[in-house]
Amino acid sequence: MRKYLLIGVSAFVLGAGAMAYVSPIAQANIAPKTKTYKLLELFGDVLGTVEDQYVTEVDDKKLIEAALDGMLTSLDPHSGYLSPDSYEDMQDTTRGEYGGLGLEVTSEDGVVKVVSPMDGTPADRAGVKAGDYITAVNSQSVLGLTVNEAVKQMRGAPGEPVTLTIARDKTDPFDVKLVREIIKPKAAIARMEGSYGYVRLPGFNEKATDAVSAAITDLRAKNPQMKGLILDLRNNPGGLLDQAVGVSDLFLDGGEVVSQRGRDPRNIQRYNAKPGDLLNGMKMVVLINQGSASAAEIVAGALQDRHRAELVGLTSFGKGSVQTVIPLRGGADGALKLTTAKYFTPSGRSIQKTGIAPDLEVAQTRDQAQDIANRVWFSEASFKNALNADEGKSRVAPHAPAEAPPTGFDDKKDDFQLQRAIAVLNAGSVAATPKLPKPAAKVADITAKAATAAGKAAPSQNK
> Domains of the chain (ranges plus CATH)?
98-183 (2.30.42.10), 189-445 (3.90.226.10)
Rg of the chain, C-alpha, whole Å: 27
Is the pLDDT confidence value at 281 over 90? yes
How far is 67 from 153, CA to CA, in rounded Å?
A: 20
| Bridging pattern class, strands 161-167 and 133-137 | antiparallel
pLDDT tier, 442 (very low <50, low <70, confident <90, very high otherwise) = low
Question: What is the pLDDT averaged over residues 32-53?
Answer: 88
**pLDDT above 90 coverage of the chain, percent:** 56
Beta bridge partners of 287: 232, 312
pLDDT above 50: residue 18: no
pLDDT of residue 88: 84
Q: How many helices (H) and strands (E) does the chain have?
A: 11, 19
Q: Which of 54, 148, 146, 46 is nearest to 93 (CA)?
A: 148
Distance CA(219)–CA(265), nearest Å, equals 43
pLDDT at residue 367 above 50? yes
Confirm if 134 and 112 have CB atoms less than 8 A apart.
yes
CB atoms within 10 A of CB 42: 10
Instruction: State the Cα–Cα distance between residues 240 and 231, nearest whole angstrom.
Output: 18
Residue 15 has pLDDT above 50, yes or no: no
Segment 165-190 mean pLDDT: 87
Residue 21: what pLDDT?
A: 36
- For the beta carbon of residue 4, count every other beta carbon within 10 angstroms: 8
Q: What integer pLDDT is reported at residue 79 of this predicted model?
A: 93
Mean pLDDT along residues 377-396: 86
**Average of per-residue pLDDT across 95-108:** 75
Q: pTM score > 0.85 for this model?
A: no
Which residue numbers are catalytic? 294, 305, 319
Q: Is the pLDDT of residue 25 over 50?
A: no
The whole-number average pLDDT for the span 60-85 is 91
What is the per-residue pLDDT for 106?
Answer: 79
**Which is more confident, 287 or 151?**
287
